[in-house]
Structure 1
Amino acid sequence: MRFRSALDNASGSPRPLPLAGAAPSQALGDIEPARLEDWFRTRYFDARIDVSSSGAQNYTLGRLRTMLGIETGELDTLMFRDSPSLGCEPLRAAVAARYAPGRLERVMVTHGSTEGIFLALSAILRPGDEVVVLRPVYQSLSSVATALGATLKVWELRPEDDFEPDISRLRDLVGPRTRAVLVNFPHNPTGAMPEPAAYQELLSLLESQGCYLLWDAAFGELVYDRAPLSDPGGFVDRCISFGTLSKAFGLPGLRIGWCIAPPDVLAAMVKLRDYVTISTSPLNELIATKVLERADRTLRPLREQAQRNRRVLMDWAADHSGLVFLPTPHGGVSSFPLFPDVPDMTGLCERLLEDDGVLVVPGQCFGHPNRLRIGFGGPTEELRDGLGAVTRAVTEAVVPLRRSR
């Protein structure tokens, strides 16, 4: 009974009725293929120059141990037993201290933020629920909801606005039937994020509606020009937020993230987790705890590198304004430049990898075929080399087209 009440009456009010004509329930096995992961699957490990990633440069264990003072003795005495369902207490406390002060009971450790998103959506959604999602967006924030039978309403981030979020457009989408709003700021792939006043407007709107806010803050520690956005769980009671060590912390292979959510939602997520991952690794949890307890040691060099690389990226776009238009990324380490003379960049991406060993992400993975996702979190010289290869490839593609006009 506790599980049903967590799902069906978490706020003490009746669940919204399904929409007429809502998407039918379907098997999760029928979920749409993850376009980004499919692109990486056969290409990621063959690249010589990687300017595709949405994360910062990766750390080695040796460098991490030196930076954080992790002694071999701590590793040697670690017992490989199962961790608690919500994650070990020291790691949950470290997450709470940085992102959710005084709300330890709302913290769950997950396998990256991806597991948290999947479990949370599976816990709160039922067929016919109305869900607002961004477009473009990282696919987990839309396809999982669709596979669960939700009816999607799209909050479009428009290219003509440089993908800046327009809260008035969101206001037109939410209403009494809205079960959840799913957002990702700073945004992947564009780096867009709301100004502080717009952020407060968004929170006030969703708190007044009483729906769930699912807040993907994977890039929350990487912000430029604007103030960082605090965890919205301090303002919106029905908030489920996600974080990860995979992006700003340069530790994707550690596979540690977290979810901050109401306790009844966490209880429902644990019930589902019992059938899949059960818990996270105690070794990974130990390292993650050390990272978050001394977070600024890990973050500082990666932030500084991202700042330098962002300048390199923006200078490149300015120097080649006849080929490319780049909306300014205000957060994260991914950008989404437009190549107006190339209708579909996918073939060019294939040639870049084959001829130059350069990996980028075609915009088609996010529904914009005339764009690329270019990551700028890695080594600066690698970024320069990758941008040079993109310039050459686009120039070779564009010149014949212009001559034929």
Structure 2
Amino acid sequence: MELLARAQALDAAGVDVVHMEVGEPDFATPQPILEAAAEAVNGGLTRYTAASGLPELRAAVAGFYASRYGCDVGHERILVTAGASGALLLATAMVVEPGDNLVMADPGYPCNRHFLQTFGGQAQLVAVGPGEDYQLNGALVQGAWDERTRGALLASPANPTGSVIQEGALRKVIEVVDARAGFLLMDEIYHQLTFTKEPPRSVLSLTNDAFVIGSFSKYFGMTGFRLGWLVVPEGAQADALKLAQNLFICPSTLAQHAALAAFNPETMAVMEAQRVTLQERRDFLVPALREAGFGVPRMPEGAFYVYAELPEGLEAEAFCNTALDQYHVSITPGTDFGFHRAQEHVRITYAESLPRLQEGVRRLARALR
């Protein structure tokens, strides 16, 4: 975030900075969502909703799981939340007591472990690399489990690697967690932004006992609306609702009414076209980075990130500072995402237009020389 602030300061000073650090695509929010938001404002729909969210939006999310994944998820198990962060906060609060831990992959999204610390828990980090598809598997979870472990938190596709967990590996993790009467938390906020030949199945296709975090930010293009959802196991609804009532009162009413338009065919067509555009950007960026001198051992399968290895002798934080200060291209050091070989890696996004990515790669190639 410090690098981003510096990059934005350079922008404000009139410097042409190529932004390849932010996890937010350059697409506008689809027009039907904006129109629904305006209708909500003009219609005076500004009062509190239930803490669990609008019933019709919860039903729409349930319908989305049915149509996209073939999952029968009862709407009563779905809570609409203040962003995916709100969903993860609720799930963490429900399963972690002070001193407990959750098994997580390193590298991974940093807020996941920070939320644990909020409730007195900690991350049981497990180093993963290209040999593990940058994902946990059953053997890794089993090996990391100790007397204070309450479960595992997975992300697929993952930030910062863009990796998608293979179904066989996910099944093994579920087996290990279930055998220990643990909890499985699954971050699927990028799940609709995948580029595999066959779209991956939601974890809810394999188990009803997972806490699943979803988001309207990434695929649906509603980052500033701050809206997500949490699917809880049967029997956990009452506790989740109590926490939501106390922590958030309710999600944004206007954002919820806007999100009702996210599932109509016109909006879905826009978002699918954007997903194809992101795949085209990925297909340019990864070979271009490799040619420039970065190591990218695995093609990212989802989201909009490349976790690239620096040439030997370079350190991530110093390189990112040089890239920004001297070449005016902003990327993120691996040290933002964990500890395992973090100084050897950087995260580079393809959330900008293709011409901007081409210019960014040119600048990064010069920075490597």
Instruction: State yes or no: 1:179 paired with 2:143.
Output: no
Per the TM alignment, residue 227 of structure 1 is displaced from its structure 2 partner at its CA by 3.3
Identity level (%) = 22
SS in 2 for 1:172: helix
Query: Which residues of 2 match residues 344-359 of structure 1 at below 5 A?
Result: 344-359=315-330
- The aligned amino acid for 2:334 is G
Q: Aligned pair in 2 of structure 1 residues 254, 326: CA closer, same or farther (>3 Å)?
A: farther
Kindly indicate whether residue 268 of structure 2 is the aligned counterpart of residue 296 of structure 1: yes
**Unmatched tracts of structure 1, length 5 or more:** 1-36, 396-405
Pairing partner for 1:268 from 216, 239, 254:
239
Instruction: Give the conservation status (yes or no) of the 8 Å contact 1:132–1:181.
Output: yes
* CA distance 1:86–1:44, change in 2 (3 Å): farther
Residues 307-327 of structure 1: CA distance to partner in whole angstroms, max 9, x if unpaired? Answer: 11011112203423x444453
Classify the secondary structure of the residue corresponding to 2:144.
coil
Structure 2 residue runs of 5 or longer lacking an equivalent are 12-16, 66-70
1:58 lines up with 2:27 in the alignment: yes
| CA-CA distance at 1:39 after TM superposition | 4.3
- In the TM superposition, residue 333 of structure 1 has moved relative to its aligned partner by 0.7
Report the residue type matching 2:198 in the other structure.
A
Residue of structure 1 in register with 2:14 after alignment: none
Q: Is 2:332 aligned against 1:361? A: yes
Listed one character per residue, the Cα deviations across residues 61-105 of structure 1 (whole Å, up to 9, x for unaligned) are: xx523x887495554214210111001112111111112534111
SS at match of 2:186: strand
Question: Partner amino acid for 2:196?
Answer: D
Please give the alpha-carbon distance, in whole angstroms, between the structure 2 residues aligned to 1:172 and 1:197: 18
* 2:60 aligned partner: 94
Q: Which amino acid aligns with 2:20?
A: V
Query: Distance in 2 between the 1:300 and 1:45 partners?
Result: 34
RMSD, matched Cα: 2.6
2:4 maps to which residue?
40
Matched positions, count: 355
Distance, in Å, in 2 between the alignment partners of 1:162 and 1:240 is 23
TM-score (norm 2): 0.86
In the alignment, is residue 387 of structure 1 matched against residue 336 of structure 2?
Answer: no
* Range with greater deviation from structure 2 (130-139 or 200-209): 200-209
CA distance in 1, matches of 2:327, 2:140: 42
1:233/1:225 CA distance change after superposition, 3 Å: closer
Aligned 8 A contact 2:103 2:123 in 1: yes
- Inter-partner Cα distance in structure 2 for 1:102 and 1:252: 25
Contact 1:94 1:293 in 2 (8 A): no
**Greater Cα shift, 139-148 or 280-289:** 139-148
Partner Cα separation in structure 2 for residue 196 and residue 331 of structure 1? 15
Matching residue's letter, 2:75: L
* Match of residue 185 from structure 2: 214
Work out the CA distance in 1 between the residues paired with 2:218 and 2:64.
16
Superposed structure 1 runs of 4+ greater than 6 Å apart: none
Q: Is the 8 A contact 1:57 1:302 kept in 2?
A: no
